[in-house]
């Protein structure tokens, strides 16, 4: 199969062997004579899939099954923007605002209760990660967005929030950098960037946090306790998407886990940033603080919109897809998630150098 170079921000590139195993399971799953899309989520064969995915994920994150629950839910990260404050915002909540998606998280929290923006990089068009903040004395939690898909900035290390629980929207760099994940009380991630297709959001949450701090009343589907108790099977989960996640987690382990992914991701990102830095008057990177540059979503502008359109057309002619920047900011964006092969980055950087020479 003649695969294109896939730089879409999400849904995004998946490992080819995961596509192959999913293709086979769509036709027949576990020798049952039915598709993975047709099997009951209560069936033992699917139960084995979801349990293996939970165990593999916690192993990759170096977290204990006794302390953490893994949930596979619907609604994407956007529903988590509301579920988090619905469950945990009792007094007030602190948010660090670093981009488009953290703005949306703040908006949902504000509908629930007192919400404090304790740090923000909006003053400079989200071109950096704010490092200085003071946590409110009565904060129920601190919320961050680990990677900013649209603007292209990233927390390279998780902040220390002391005794205040840390909650992370990890959607677009989940399992791409090694962290001490035990710093977080709750992590959520839309799967469609690094670990699966659209349709499932992964939640990794401390059991004690749910037991001690989550609301006990209210809508069943919006309570984390419901899903922890029923092990993601309170209602029919997104079975096919969970299967793809389970296959991707096995691929991650087979290829060296998070440490190996980070090393490869740093190499890929450096190749692109090196071209940007070599021609700063032509390729204008959006993130001003180099240490805050995302390994996942690399963003830049060209001198004119006309040149950007020409670059995108040239890229498309060479089977490079998904390079157009988000509609909120424009420009160019290359998303180089875990499964993005080195060959695609090599092709992109060659195009960038050639395009510079022809149009400088």
Kindly state the DSSP code that residue 148 receives in the 8-state scheme.
Answer: E
Q: What predicted TM-score, i.e. pTM, was given to this entire model? A: 0.97
Angle formed at CA 150 by CA 142 and CA 188, multiple of 5 degrees: 40
Tell me the torsion sign for CA atoms 238, 239, 244, 245.
Answer: positive
Q: Residue 118's CB: how many other CB atoms inside 10 A?
A: 18
Domain ranges across the chain: 16-254, 257-359
Q: What burial class does residue 124 get, using C-beta atoms within 10 Å of its C-beta: 0-12 exposed, 13-18 middle, 19+ buried?
A: exposed
With tokens 């390279």, the residue in question is 156
Nearest CA among 192, 105, 99 for reference residue 150: 99
Angle formed at CA 165 by CA 144 and CA 245, multiple of 5 degrees: 60
How far, CA to CA in Å, does 344 sit from each of 7, 204, 278? 9, 31, 20
How far, CA to CA in Å, does 91 sit from each of 148, 213, 329? 27, 12, 35
What is the three-class DSSP state of 125?
Answer: coil
Q: Which CATH number fits domain 257-359: 3.90.1150.10, 3.40.30.10, 1.10.287.110, 3.30.70.260?
A: 3.90.1150.10
In CATH terms, the fold of domain 16-254 is: 3.40.640
H or E segment and range at residue 335: strand 332-335
Backbone angles phi, psi at 120, to 5 degrees: -155, 145
The reported pLDDT for the residue numbered 1 is: 72
The residues annotated with a catalytic role in the active site are 101, 169, 193
The Cα–Cα gap between 149 and 299 comes to 9
CB-side neighbour CA atoms (13 Å) of 189: 25
The reported pLDDT for the residue numbered 2 is: 86
Nearest CA among 268, 245, 280 for reference residue 51: 245
Nearest CA among 186, 129, 127, 180 for reference residue 158: 180
State the 10-residue block means of pLDDT for the chain, 360 residues long: 94 98 98 97 96 98 98 97 98 98 98 98 96 97 98 97 98 97 98 97 98 97 98 97 98 98 98 98 96 98 97 98 95 98 98 97
How far, CA to CA in Å, does 22 sit from each of 16, 42, 171, 207, 245? 10, 20, 22, 31, 10
What is the three-class DSSP state of 277?
Answer: helix
The Cα–Cα gap between 329 and 5 comes to 23
């Amino acid at each position: 199969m003649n695969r294109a170079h896939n730089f879409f921000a999400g849904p995004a590139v998946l490992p080819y062997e995961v596509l192959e195993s999913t293709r086979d399971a769509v036709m027949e799953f576990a020798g049952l004579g039915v598709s993975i899309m047709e099997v009951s989520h209560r069936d033992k064969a699917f139960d084995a899939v979801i349990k293996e995915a939970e165990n593999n994920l916690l192993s990759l994150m170096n977290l204990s099954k006794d302390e953490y629950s893994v949930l596979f839910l619907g609604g994407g990260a956007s529903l988590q923007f509301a579920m988090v404050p619905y469950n945990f915002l009792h007094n007030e909540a602190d948010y660090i605002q670093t981009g488009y998606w953290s703005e949306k998280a703040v908006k949902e929290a504000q509908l629930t209760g007192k919400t404090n923006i304790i740090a923000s990089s909006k003053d400079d068009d989200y071109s950096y990660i704010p490092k200085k903040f003071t946590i409110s004395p009565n904060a129920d939690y601190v919320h961050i967005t680990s990677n900013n898909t649209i603007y292209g900035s990233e927390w390279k290390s998780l902040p220390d929030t002391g005794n205040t629980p840390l909650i992370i929207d990890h959607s677009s760099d989940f399992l791409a950098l090694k962290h001490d994940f035990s710093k977080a009380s709750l992590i959520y991630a839309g799967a469609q960037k690094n670990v699966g297709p659209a349709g499932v959001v992964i939640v990794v949450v401390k059991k004690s946090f749910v037991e001690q701090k989550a609301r006990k009343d209210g809508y069943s589907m919006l309570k984390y306790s419901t899903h922890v108790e029923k092990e993601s099977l309170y209602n029919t989960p997104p079975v096919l998407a969970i299967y793809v996640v389970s296959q991707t987690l096995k691929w991650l382990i087979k290829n060296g886990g998070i440490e190996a992914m980070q090393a490869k991701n740093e190499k890929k990102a450096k190749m692109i940033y090196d071209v940007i830095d070599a021609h700063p008057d032509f390729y204008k990177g959006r993130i001003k603080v180099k240490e805050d540059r995302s390994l996942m979503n690399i963003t830049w502008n060209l001198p004119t919109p006309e040149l950007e359109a020409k670059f995108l057309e040239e890229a498309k002619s060479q089977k490079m897809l998904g390079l157009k920047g988000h509609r909120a900011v424009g420009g160019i964006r290359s998303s180089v998630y875990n499964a993005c092969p080195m060959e695609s980055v090599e092709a992109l950087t060659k195009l960038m150098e050639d395009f510079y020479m022809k149009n400088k």
